[in-house]
């Protein structure tokens, strides 16, 4: 009996993995998630232990506090209350008009509503290689949560975790403004907007091209382009003016 049980169990496991992979492939959006990218698929989500999970759940707030402190340090440096080299370093390479805009009283305390720490796992723990405030992966992670939750009840964040989180950034709907330089991520953000629109009858989210974007008073903007891309966005002055005058909000801030 023992010799028969082992291959039988193995076959069952193989079939189960095959079925999960098939379900994942079927669930994959036909438009894709990252433009012109292919994927290696796993039948199982990446496992982490409870201790690491507890650390991750505290990491968001800690990094928010860190970014707030960095912004305050910069503002104090500008005012001459901290070493001048701090502001010089942060402002290096930026055009004067952008520096002037970012220091405006109305927006100087604004912080990114979404950040993604890039973690490198080591045998001694994890290392944060970068804190990205214009991150790709929002829609991808949302889709992964939905898809893997279909056959795993312990997915962190559950079915709607990422979507609920992004909705909290634009609770009344808004425009996800993506430049051509960031077009790789357009499919995942279109998926995100479509998912949010399916669950709402009073708000709307849409993905629009940054190069010809016209701001609408009262409509929030999620900026999906880097600051070095500003010269490639002809009408950016209108968006910045609307932000400075309080007619729209922009996150991450410029």
Phi, psi of 163 (to 5 degrees): -65, -45
Q: Which two tokens stand for residue 181?
A: 């330089």
Amino acid 7: pLDDT: 39
Residue 182 contacts residue 225 (beta carbons within 8 Å): yes
The packing angle between helices 138-149 and 186-198, to 10°, is: 60
More confident position, 229 or 15? 229
CA angle, residues 182, 147, 186, in degrees to nearest 5: 15
pLDDT tens-place string over residues 137-188: 999 999 999 999 998 999 999 999 999 999 999 999 999 999 999 999 999 9
CA angle, residues 45, 206, 249, in degrees to nearest 5: 100
pLDDT tens-place string over residues 200-228: 888 999 999 999 999 999 999 999 999 89
CA distances in angstroms from 120 to 104, 117, 138, listed in the order given: 36, 10, 19
Amino acid 199: pLDDT: 87
Amino acid 16: pLDDT: 85
CA dist 62 and 67 (Å) reads 9
CA angle, residues 17, 20, 22, in degrees to nearest 5: 110
% of the chain residues with pLDDT over 90: 80
For the entire predicted model, the pTM comes to: 0.88
% of the chain residues with pLDDT over 70: 94
Long-range contacts of 39-48 (CB under 8 A, 24+ apart): 43/16, 43/17, 43/18, 44/17, 44/20, 44/152, 45/144, 45/148, 45/152, 45/155, 48/156
Give the position of tokens 């104090």: 76
Partner residues linked to 223 by β-bridges: 177
Average pLDDT over the chain reads 90
CA dist 178 and 210 (Å) reads 5
Amino acid 211: pLDDT: 95
Amino acid 195: pLDDT: 96
Query: How long is the chain?
Result: 254
How many CB atoms are located within 10 Å of the residue 160 CB? Answer: 15
């Amino acid at each position: 009996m023992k010799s028969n049980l082992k291959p039988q169990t193995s076959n069952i496991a193989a079939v189960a993995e095959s079925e999960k992979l098939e379900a994942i492939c079927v669930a994959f959006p036909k438009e894709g998630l990252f433009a012109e990218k292919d994927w290696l698929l796993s039948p199982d989500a990446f496992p982490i232990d409870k201790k690491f999970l507890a650390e991750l759940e505290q990491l968001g707030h800690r990094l928010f506090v860190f970014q707030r402190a960095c912004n305050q340090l910069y503002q104090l440096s500008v005012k001459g209350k901290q070493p001048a080299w701090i502001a010089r370093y942060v402002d290096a390479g930026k055009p004067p008009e952008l520096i002037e805009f970012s220091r405006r009283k109305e927006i100087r305390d604004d912080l990114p509503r979404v950040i993604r720490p890039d973690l490198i796992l080591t045998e001694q723990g994890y290392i944060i290689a970068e804190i990205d405030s214009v991150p790709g992966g929002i829609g991808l992670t949302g889709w992964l949560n939905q898809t893997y939750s279909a056959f795993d009840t312990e997915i962190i964040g559950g079915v709607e975790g990422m979507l609920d989180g992004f909705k909290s950034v634009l609770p009344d709907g808004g425009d996800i403004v993506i430049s051509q330089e960031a077009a790789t991520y357009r499919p995942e953000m279109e998926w995100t907007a479509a998912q949010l629109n399916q669950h709402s009858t009073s708000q709307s989210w849409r993905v629009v091209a940054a190069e010809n974007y016209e701001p609408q008073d009262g409509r929030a903007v999620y900026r999906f382009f880097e600051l070095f891309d500003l010269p490639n966005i002809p009408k950016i002055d209108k968006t910045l003016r609307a932000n400075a005058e309080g007619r729209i909000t922009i996150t991450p801030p410029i």
